[in-house]
Amino acid sequence: MPARQPFTTLCQLAARPRLAGRADLHLHTTHSDGTYTPAELVDLARRSGLSAIAVTDHDTLAGVIPARTAARGSDLEVIAGAEISCEYEGRELHLLAYFVALDHPALNAALEGVRRGRVERFRAMVERLRQLGVSVADTELETVPDTFGRRHLAEMIVKAGRAGSVREAFRRYLLDGGRVDVPKKRLPVAEALALVRSAGGVAAWAHPPYHCDQRRLAELRSLGLGAVEAEYPDTPPSRRRQLRAWAAALGLAVVGGSDCHGPGRRAVGACSVTAEELEQLRKSSESGVRSSEFIDSELRTPNSELD
Protein backbone atom coordinates (compact mmCIF):
# COMPACT_ATOMS: atom_id res chain seq x y z
CA MET A 1 0.00 0.00 0.00
CA PRO A 2 1.54 3.36 -0.98
CA ALA A 3 2.43 5.75 1.80
CA ARG A 4 -0.17 8.40 2.55
CA GLN A 5 0.83 11.75 1.06
CA PRO A 6 1.09 14.77 3.42
CA PHE A 7 -1.38 16.78 1.34
CA THR A 8 -3.93 13.95 1.47
CA THR A 9 -3.56 13.74 5.24
CA LEU A 10 -4.12 17.47 5.61
CA CYS A 11 -7.26 17.29 3.48
CA GLN A 12 -8.63 14.43 5.56
CA LEU A 13 -7.95 16.32 8.79
CA ALA A 14 -9.62 19.43 7.41
CA ALA A 15 -12.69 17.41 6.45
CA ARG A 16 -12.95 15.76 9.84
CA PRO A 17 -15.84 17.13 11.96
CA ARG A 18 -14.71 19.88 14.33
CA LEU A 19 -15.60 17.97 17.51
CA ALA A 20 -14.45 14.50 16.48
CA GLY A 21 -13.34 12.52 19.51
CA ARG A 22 -15.16 14.81 21.94
CA ALA A 23 -18.17 14.24 24.19
CA ASP A 24 -21.00 16.49 25.34
CA LEU A 25 -21.96 15.07 28.74
CA HIS A 26 -24.81 17.38 29.76
CA LEU A 27 -27.90 17.30 27.54
CA HIS A 28 -31.67 17.47 28.09
CA THR A 29 -34.58 16.16 26.02
CA THR A 30 -38.36 16.39 25.97
CA HIS A 31 -38.38 13.78 28.73
CA SER A 32 -37.57 16.64 31.11
CA ASP A 33 -37.31 20.35 30.27
CA GLY A 34 -35.60 20.12 26.88
CA THR A 35 -37.27 20.94 23.58
CA TYR A 36 -35.42 18.35 21.48
CA THR A 37 -36.63 14.77 21.34
CA PRO A 38 -33.97 12.13 22.00
CA ALA A 39 -33.84 11.38 18.26
CA GLU A 40 -33.37 15.07 17.42
CA LEU A 41 -30.63 15.32 20.02
CA VAL A 42 -28.82 12.34 18.50
CA ASP A 43 -29.11 13.83 15.01
CA LEU A 44 -27.64 17.16 16.19
CA ALA A 45 -24.82 15.36 17.99
CA ARG A 46 -23.92 13.42 14.86
CA ARG A 47 -24.05 16.59 12.74
CA SER A 48 -21.75 18.27 15.26
CA GLY A 49 -19.20 15.48 14.90
CA LEU A 50 -19.39 14.37 18.52
CA SER A 51 -18.24 10.88 19.40
CA ALA A 52 -20.34 10.53 22.56
CA ILE A 53 -23.18 12.21 24.41
CA ALA A 54 -24.80 11.73 27.80
CA VAL A 55 -28.55 12.14 28.11
CA THR A 56 -28.93 13.80 31.51
CA ASP A 57 -32.60 14.67 31.90
CA HIS A 58 -33.73 16.00 35.26
CA ASP A 59 -34.50 13.18 37.70
CA THR A 60 -35.34 10.62 35.02
CA LEU A 61 -33.60 8.04 32.84
CA ALA A 62 -36.50 7.82 30.38
CA GLY A 63 -34.74 9.54 27.48
CA VAL A 64 -31.77 7.17 27.32
CA ILE A 65 -33.29 4.19 25.49
CA PRO A 66 -34.99 6.33 22.79
CA ALA A 67 -31.66 8.10 22.21
CA ARG A 68 -29.80 4.78 21.96
CA THR A 69 -32.41 3.52 19.52
CA ALA A 70 -31.93 6.62 17.37
CA ALA A 71 -28.14 6.21 17.48
CA ARG A 72 -28.22 2.55 16.46
CA GLY A 73 -26.01 1.86 13.47
CA SER A 74 -23.89 4.98 14.01
CA ASP A 75 -20.61 5.56 15.81
CA LEU A 76 -22.20 7.81 18.41
CA GLU A 77 -22.06 6.50 21.98
CA VAL A 78 -25.07 7.36 24.15
CA ILE A 79 -24.23 7.27 27.86
CA ALA A 80 -26.96 6.63 30.40
CA GLY A 81 -27.28 9.58 32.71
CA ALA A 82 -29.50 11.86 34.77
CA GLU A 83 -29.27 15.20 36.50
CA ILE A 84 -30.38 14.61 40.08
CA SER A 85 -31.81 17.32 42.33
CA CYS A 86 -29.99 17.15 45.68
CA GLU A 87 -29.62 19.01 48.96
CA TYR A 88 -26.22 19.94 50.38
CA GLU A 89 -25.52 22.41 53.18
CA GLY A 90 -29.10 23.65 52.96
CA ARG A 91 -28.74 24.52 49.28
CA GLU A 92 -29.74 22.89 46.04
CA LEU A 93 -26.99 20.92 44.33
CA HIS A 94 -27.27 19.03 41.06
CA LEU A 95 -25.44 15.78 40.47
CA LEU A 96 -24.80 14.43 37.00
CA ALA A 97 -24.96 10.63 37.13
CA TYR A 98 -23.20 8.65 34.39
CA PHE A 99 -23.04 4.98 33.32
CA VAL A 100 -25.84 3.98 35.69
CA ALA A 101 -27.86 0.79 35.24
CA LEU A 102 -31.23 1.77 33.77
CA ASP A 103 -33.06 -0.97 35.67
CA HIS A 104 -31.61 -0.30 39.12
CA PRO A 105 -34.63 -0.51 41.50
CA ALA A 106 -33.44 1.77 44.30
CA LEU A 107 -32.23 4.55 41.99
CA ASN A 108 -35.42 4.46 39.94
CA ALA A 109 -37.57 4.52 43.07
CA ALA A 110 -35.71 7.54 44.40
CA LEU A 111 -35.98 9.40 41.08
CA GLU A 112 -39.69 8.59 40.91
CA GLY A 113 -40.12 10.10 44.38
CA VAL A 114 -38.41 13.31 43.27
CA ARG A 115 -40.61 13.46 40.17
CA ARG A 116 -43.75 13.07 42.29
CA GLY A 117 -42.51 15.98 44.35
CA ARG A 118 -42.07 17.99 41.14
CA VAL A 119 -45.70 17.32 40.16
CA GLU A 120 -46.96 18.42 43.58
CA ARG A 121 -44.74 21.51 43.45
CA PHE A 122 -45.94 22.37 39.96
CA ARG A 123 -49.59 22.17 40.98
CA ALA A 124 -48.91 24.34 44.02
CA MET A 125 -47.24 26.98 41.83
CA VAL A 126 -50.16 26.90 39.37
CA GLU A 127 -52.52 27.54 42.28
CA ARG A 128 -50.39 30.45 43.50
CA LEU A 129 -50.48 31.92 40.01
CA ARG A 130 -54.27 31.65 39.93
CA GLN A 131 -54.47 33.46 43.24
CA LEU A 132 -52.52 36.27 41.56
CA GLY A 133 -54.96 36.30 38.65
CA VAL A 134 -52.72 34.40 36.25
CA SER A 135 -54.44 31.34 34.77
CA VAL A 136 -52.86 28.72 32.51
CA ALA A 137 -54.92 26.47 30.28
CA ASP A 138 -55.70 23.00 31.62
CA THR A 139 -54.87 21.58 28.19
CA GLU A 140 -51.34 22.93 28.60
CA LEU A 141 -50.94 21.02 31.86
CA GLU A 142 -51.69 17.74 30.09
CA THR A 143 -48.73 18.16 27.73
CA VAL A 144 -46.02 18.68 30.35
CA PRO A 145 -43.69 15.66 30.94
CA ASP A 146 -43.18 13.88 34.25
CA THR A 147 -40.35 16.19 35.24
CA PHE A 148 -42.45 19.34 35.63
CA GLY A 149 -40.29 22.41 36.09
CA ARG A 150 -40.37 26.17 36.29
CA ARG A 151 -39.30 26.44 32.66
CA HIS A 152 -42.55 24.73 31.58
CA LEU A 153 -44.58 27.05 33.80
CA ALA A 154 -42.72 30.09 32.47
CA GLU A 155 -43.62 29.08 28.91
CA MET A 156 -47.27 28.75 29.95
CA ILE A 157 -47.19 32.22 31.52
CA VAL A 158 -45.87 33.61 28.23
CA LYS A 159 -48.64 31.82 26.28
CA ALA A 160 -51.20 33.27 28.69
CA GLY A 161 -49.95 36.73 27.79
CA ARG A 162 -48.73 37.59 31.28
CA ALA A 163 -45.04 37.88 30.33
CA GLY A 164 -43.20 38.70 27.15
CA SER A 165 -40.52 36.06 27.56
CA VAL A 166 -39.46 33.14 29.71
CA ARG A 167 -36.85 35.37 31.34
CA GLU A 168 -39.53 37.93 32.23
CA ALA A 169 -41.83 35.21 33.61
CA PHE A 170 -39.03 34.08 35.92
CA ARG A 171 -38.27 37.60 37.01
CA ARG A 172 -41.91 38.46 37.75
CA TYR A 173 -43.06 35.19 39.32
CA LEU A 174 -40.71 32.22 39.47
CA LEU A 175 -37.32 33.20 40.88
CA ASP A 176 -36.17 31.46 44.07
CA GLY A 177 -38.13 32.98 46.92
CA GLY A 178 -40.45 34.75 44.50
CA ARG A 179 -44.22 35.14 44.73
CA VAL A 180 -44.94 31.79 43.11
CA ASP A 181 -41.87 29.68 43.87
CA VAL A 182 -42.38 26.54 45.98
CA PRO A 183 -39.39 24.62 47.43
CA LYS A 184 -38.39 21.61 45.37
CA LYS A 185 -38.14 18.08 46.76
CA ARG A 186 -34.46 17.13 46.82
CA LEU A 187 -32.47 14.05 47.77
CA PRO A 188 -29.80 14.38 50.47
CA VAL A 189 -26.56 14.44 48.52
CA ALA A 190 -25.04 11.53 50.47
CA GLU A 191 -28.05 9.36 49.64
CA ALA A 192 -27.92 10.32 45.97
CA LEU A 193 -24.19 9.60 45.74
CA ALA A 194 -24.68 6.18 47.31
CA LEU A 195 -27.51 5.40 44.90
CA VAL A 196 -25.45 6.33 41.85
CA ARG A 197 -22.56 4.16 42.98
CA SER A 198 -24.95 1.34 43.81
CA ALA A 199 -26.26 1.56 40.24
CA GLY A 200 -22.71 1.13 38.93
CA GLY A 201 -22.30 4.77 37.98
CA VAL A 202 -20.21 7.79 38.80
CA ALA A 203 -21.50 11.20 39.89
CA ALA A 204 -20.24 14.69 39.08
CA TRP A 205 -21.07 18.05 40.66
CA ALA A 206 -22.96 19.85 37.88
CA HIS A 207 -22.20 23.50 37.00
CA PRO A 208 -20.63 24.07 40.44
CA PRO A 209 -21.42 27.58 41.75
CA TYR A 210 -18.78 29.88 43.17
CA HIS A 211 -19.23 28.64 46.74
CA CYS A 212 -17.87 25.32 45.43
CA ASP A 213 -14.31 25.13 46.70
CA GLN A 214 -11.69 22.45 47.23
CA ARG A 215 -12.86 21.75 50.79
CA ARG A 216 -16.42 21.02 49.66
CA LEU A 217 -15.21 18.93 46.76
CA ALA A 218 -13.06 16.90 49.14
CA GLU A 219 -16.01 16.41 51.49
CA LEU A 220 -18.25 15.21 48.67
CA ARG A 221 -15.46 12.99 47.37
CA SER A 222 -15.42 11.27 50.76
CA LEU A 223 -19.14 10.61 50.26
CA GLY A 224 -18.63 9.10 46.80
CA LEU A 225 -18.33 11.99 44.34
CA GLY A 226 -16.25 10.90 41.37
CA ALA A 227 -16.08 13.94 39.10
CA VAL A 228 -16.70 17.67 38.74
CA GLU A 229 -18.07 19.59 35.78
CA ALA A 230 -15.37 22.03 34.65
CA GLU A 231 -16.48 22.74 31.10
CA TYR A 232 -19.87 24.42 30.94
CA PRO A 233 -21.35 27.59 29.40
CA ASP A 234 -20.58 31.08 30.72
CA THR A 235 -17.61 29.90 32.77
CA PRO A 236 -14.47 32.06 32.66
CA PRO A 237 -11.25 30.27 31.65
CA SER A 238 -9.76 31.03 35.07
CA ARG A 239 -12.61 29.19 36.81
CA ARG A 240 -12.25 26.22 34.46
CA ARG A 241 -8.54 26.02 35.23
CA GLN A 242 -9.25 26.23 38.96
CA LEU A 243 -11.81 23.42 38.85
CA ARG A 244 -9.45 21.25 36.81
CA ALA A 245 -6.62 21.87 39.30
CA TRP A 246 -8.84 20.86 42.22
CA ALA A 247 -10.01 17.77 40.33
CA ALA A 248 -6.41 16.73 39.70
CA ALA A 249 -5.47 17.29 43.34
CA LEU A 250 -8.42 15.23 44.59
CA GLY A 251 -8.31 12.47 41.97
CA LEU A 252 -11.66 13.48 40.46
CA ALA A 253 -12.56 13.04 36.81
CA VAL A 254 -13.47 16.11 34.76
CA VAL A 255 -16.75 16.33 32.85
CA GLY A 256 -18.35 19.02 30.74
CA GLY A 257 -21.19 19.76 28.41
CA SER A 258 -23.43 22.34 26.83
CA ASP A 259 -26.39 21.91 29.21
CA CYS A 260 -28.44 22.17 26.02
CA HIS A 261 -32.20 22.52 26.50
CA GLY A 262 -33.00 23.48 22.91
CA PRO A 263 -32.09 26.00 20.21
CA GLY A 264 -29.87 28.86 21.31
CA ARG A 265 -26.32 29.59 22.28
CA ARG A 266 -26.12 26.43 24.43
CA ALA A 267 -26.11 24.31 21.31
CA VAL A 268 -25.27 20.62 21.30
CA GLY A 269 -21.48 20.41 21.47
CA ALA A 270 -21.00 24.02 22.59
CA CYS A 271 -19.00 22.64 25.53
CA SER A 272 -17.38 19.23 25.56
CA VAL A 273 -14.59 17.09 26.95
CA THR A 274 -11.91 15.07 25.22
CA ALA A 275 -11.92 11.35 24.58
CA GLU A 276 -9.20 11.00 27.22
CA GLU A 277 -11.33 12.78 29.82
CA LEU A 278 -14.31 10.60 28.96
CA GLU A 279 -12.12 7.52 29.39
CA GLN A 280 -11.05 8.72 32.84
CA LEU A 281 -14.72 9.12 33.76
CA ARG A 282 -15.44 5.63 32.47
CA LYS A 283 -12.64 4.20 34.60
CA SER A 284 -14.03 6.02 37.64
CA SER A 285 -17.36 4.33 36.99
CA GLU A 286 -15.74 0.93 36.60
CA SER A 287 -13.84 1.34 39.87
CA GLY A 288 -17.12 2.22 41.55
CA VAL A 289 -18.75 -0.95 40.28
CA ARG A 290 -16.35 -3.02 42.38
CA SER A 291 -17.81 -1.55 45.56
CA SER A 292 -21.41 -1.32 44.36
CA GLU A 293 -22.46 -4.65 45.84
CA PHE A 294 -21.52 -3.45 49.31
CA ILE A 295 -23.27 -0.11 48.83
CA ASP A 296 -26.35 -1.81 47.45
CA SER A 297 -26.58 -4.10 50.46
CA GLU A 298 -26.26 -1.08 52.75
CA LEU A 299 -29.11 0.67 50.95
CA ARG A 300 -31.33 -2.36 51.39
CA THR A 301 -30.87 -2.76 55.16
CA PRO A 302 -34.01 -2.36 57.32
CA ASN A 303 -32.72 1.01 58.57
CA SER A 304 -32.39 2.44 55.08
CA GLU A 305 -34.50 5.50 54.37
CA LEU A 306 -35.41 3.91 51.05
CA ASP A 307 -37.31 1.01 52.63
Q: How far apart are CA 224 and CA 43, in angstroms?
A: 34
Q: What SS3 class is residue 13?
A: helix
Domains of the chain as residue ranges with CATH? 20-114+185-299 (3.20.20.140)
CB atoms within 10 A of CB 143: 9
How does pLDDT run across 61-88, given as a tens digit for each residue?
Answer: 999 999 999 999 999 999 999 999 999 9
* pTM of the predicted protein model: 0.81
**What pLDDT score does 140 carry?**
55
**What pLDDT score does 10 carry?**
42
DSSP state string for 225-242: --EEEEE-TT--HHHHHH
Let me know: does 259 contact 26? Beta carbons within 8 Å: yes
Those residues of the chain that have pLDDT short of 70 are: 1-19, 137-148, 288-307
- Strands 52-55 vs 23-27: parallel, antiparallel or unpaired: parallel
**What pLDDT score does 122 carry?**
85
**What pLDDT score does 299 carry?**
43
CB atoms within 10 A of CB 246: 21
**What pLDDT score does 74 carry?**
95
